[in-house]
Amino acid sequence: MIPRNPRLAALKAGYLFPEIAKRRREFAAAHPEDPRRPETRIISLGVGNTTEPILPCITEGLAEGAGKLGTAEGYSGYQDEGLPELRKRIADVFYRGAFSIDEIFISDGAKCDIGRLQLLFGPGTPAVIQDPSYPVYVDGSVLIGAAGAWAGTGYTGICYLPCTAENNYFPDLSLVPENALIYFCSPNNPTGAVASREQLGTLVNIARQRGCIIVFDAAYSEYIRNPALPKTIYEIPGAGECAIEVNSFSKPAGFTGVRLGWTVVPKELRYEGGESINTDWSRIASTIFNGASNIAQAGGLAALSEEGLKEIRRYCDFYLRNAALIRGALQKRGISCVGGDNSPYIWAHFPGRDSWDIFTEILEKCRLVSTPGSGFGPSGQSFIRFSAFGRLSDVEEACRRLSAFRMTTN
Ligand code: PGU
């Protein structure tokens, strides 16, 4: 018999979002919805899953992409690193042409690439992770066998950087060890905090001084409305030497089910021994990935056309309005919260309470699914994340219920 990979045993029992779905199912089974009483309907502001239809110009691009596959002239097969036109367009739209197309790799989404990227560094590389943060950075690091000695964090090999109200959700970077892989997400999931240019400048400086590489997750960059805030790590001088960036069409264009993203691996990025990380990423990508769907890529090209970019803006504006409604409803109840202005997540604080207890109370009293903050890391304890991804009528109803919500006080 073959033994189980011991790293699987080191993972937390279940991935956060399926656990939430399970609790919702159990609650729904015990308290069935009554179609005559709309107040009994369960509303989800839990997982960050898009709900709005894809807008017309982008949908047309997807349909055209599918149509082409049915013609001799338009047919295409494997695409490996992605359509050159799409890579060029990404370089132009998001990076002002600062990268060549062989520094832009098309993926089937940011999550998939975050998992694959860890193969570049292998076991033994310390992982530095904002706490709280998107659980994939931790789980992926545990799977690859990130090693080190940060006693007391609960995870060997992972150095947590607490992001709390006290530090305005930007971590103390003096804690970053040497030669580590730093995961950094801005706008942050779950806090909604967006790092300023100065803060990202400090991050890049620390990474360069300490021989670290940053994996910058910009999946929510299109939600940034404040023009002073950087949308990509490459707005910071020197980032090309120390940062990889992942991004996605999921949240700006509604491609959570279509699946399309990209990763930037600059050619100037090097390992300790001087070898090219770009060459290795190309090797890994072509070895264990056969490219994103060509239909999705046609949709991606349409999304980056002039009209498509206007649709992206409208699409994100819609969820940002939801975010403002949710934030307003929580604040009216005196619940302190951040996020939701340049991000689709609202991070609400319930001092002294356990996250899963608040989750359960909100589910029971408001029939509203949220995400317990502790699922994003130890510093998420006593917080709840509300996602702005929802139909407007659901968000309005959720806000009505939250307005009437009387929390148990300890
Ligand atoms: N990066 C961040 C920071 C995310 O929050 C998410 C999705 C992704 C990447 C995934 O992007 P794709 O391009 O679609 O792969 N976070 C959602 C969905 C949950 C999940 O497991 O991905 C969330 O609710 O946090």
Per-residue pLDDT tens over the stretch 30-42 = 999 888 998 899 9
Q: Compute the distance from residue 111 Cα to the ligand 1 centre, in Å.
A: 6
User: Is ligand 1 within 6 A of the CB of residue 17?
Assistant: yes
Q: Give the torsion sign (CA, 270, 125, 203, 129).
A: positive
User: Is ligand 1 within 6 A of the CB of residue 105?
Assistant: no
> To which residue do tokens 């931790």 refer?
138
Mean pLDDT of the chain: 94
Q: Compute the distance from residue 346 Cα to the ligand 1 centre, in Å.
A: 15
The mean pLDDT value for 222-230 works out to 98
- Name the closest-CA residue to atom 10, ligand 1: 111
Tokens of 215: 């994996």
**What pLDDT was estimated at residue 397?**
97
Residue 389 alpha carbon, nearest atom of ligand 1: 24
Q: Compute the distance from residue 189 Cα to the ligand 1 centre, in Å.
A: 8
- Name the closest-CA residue to atom 16, ligand 1: 48
Q: Which residues of 372-396 are buried (b: 16+ CB within 10 A; e: fewer)?
A: bbbbbbebbbbbbbbbbbbeeebbe
User: Is ligand 1 within 6 A of the CB of residue 231?
Assistant: no
The mean pLDDT value for 54-60 works out to 98
| Same fold? 6-54+308-404, 56-306 | no
Q: Give me the architecture of the 6-54+308-404 domain, per CATH.
A: Alpha-Beta Complex (3.90)
The mean pLDDT value for 178-205 works out to 97
Residue 112 alpha carbon, nearest atom of ligand 1: 15
**What pLDDT was estimated at residue 318?**
98
Among 106, 111, 217, which residue has the most ligand 1 atoms within 8 Å of its CB, making it the best to mutate?
A: 111
Question: Which among 57, 64, 388 has a CA at the least distance from the CA of 253?
Answer: 57
With 60 as the cut, is the pLDDT of residue 148 above it? no
Q: Compute the distance from residue 248 Cα to the ligand 1 centre, in Å.
A: 9
**What pLDDT was estimated at residue 6?**
80
Q: Compute the distance from residue 2 Cα to the ligand 1 centre, in Å.
A: 33
Q: Give me the architecture of the 56-306 domain, per CATH.
A: 3-Layer(aba) Sandwich (3.40)
| Predicted TM-score of the model (pTM) | 0.96
Q: Cite the DSSP H helix spans in 49-97.
A: 56-68, 84-95
- Name the closest-CA residue to atom 18, ligand 1: 48
Q: Compute the distance from residue 252 Cα to the ligand 1 centre, in Å.
A: 12
What strands, in cross-sheet order, belong to the sheet with 243-248? 104-107, 261-264, 243-248, 213-217, 181-185, 127-131, 158-162
Q: Compute the distance from residue 68 Cα to the ligand 1 centre, in Å.
A: 30
The answer to whether 225 touches 320, Cβ cutoff 8 Å, is yes
Give the domain ranges of the chain: 6-54+308-404, 56-306
User: Is ligand 1 within 6 A of the CB of residue 250?
Assistant: yes
Among 129, 189, 319, which residue has the most ligand 1 atoms within 8 Å of its CB, making it the best to mutate?
A: 189
Computed on alpha carbons and rounded to an integer, the radius of gyration of the chain in Å comes to 21
Name the residue with higher pLDDT: 403 or 146.
403
Question: What would the DSSP string read from start to end of 276-327?
Answer: BHHHHHHHHHHHH-----HHHHHHHHHHTSHHHHHHHHHHHHHHHHHHHHHH
Q: Compute the distance from residue 338 Cα to the ligand 1 centre, in Å.
A: 19
With 50 as the cut, is the pLDDT of residue 149 above it? no
Q: Return the percentage of the chain with pLDDT > 90, whole number.
A: 85
**Strand positions, DSSP E, 23-84:** 43-44
- Name the closest-CA residue to atom 23, ligand 1: 48
**To the nearest 5 percent, what fractions of the chain are helix, strand and coil?**
45, 15, 40
User: Is ligand 1 within 6 A of the CB of residue 388?
Assistant: no
C-alpha span between 401 and 370 (Å, rounded): 13
Tokens of 125: 């590389």
Give Cα separations from 82 to 11, 133, 153, 195, 245 (angstroms): 32, 29, 39, 30, 16
Name the residue with higher pLDDT: 145 or 86.
86
Residue 188 alpha carbon, nearest atom of ligand 1: 3
Q: How confident is the model at residue 150 (pLDDT cuts 50, 70, 90)?
A: very low
**What pLDDT was estimated at residue 243?**
98
Q: Compute the distance from residue 178 Cα to the ligand 1 centre, in Å.
A: 28
**What pLDDT was estimated at residue 145?**
79
User: Is ligand 1 within 6 A of the CB of residue 134?
Assistant: yes
Residue 136 alpha carbon, nearest atom of ligand 1: 21
User: Is ligand 1 within 6 A of the CB of residue 48?
Assistant: yes
The mean pLDDT value for 240-244 works out to 98
Contacts of residue 70, defined as CB under 8 A and 6 or more positions apart, other chains included, come to none
With 80 as the cut, is the pLDDT of residue 394 above it? yes
> To which residue do tokens 């690859």 refer?
144
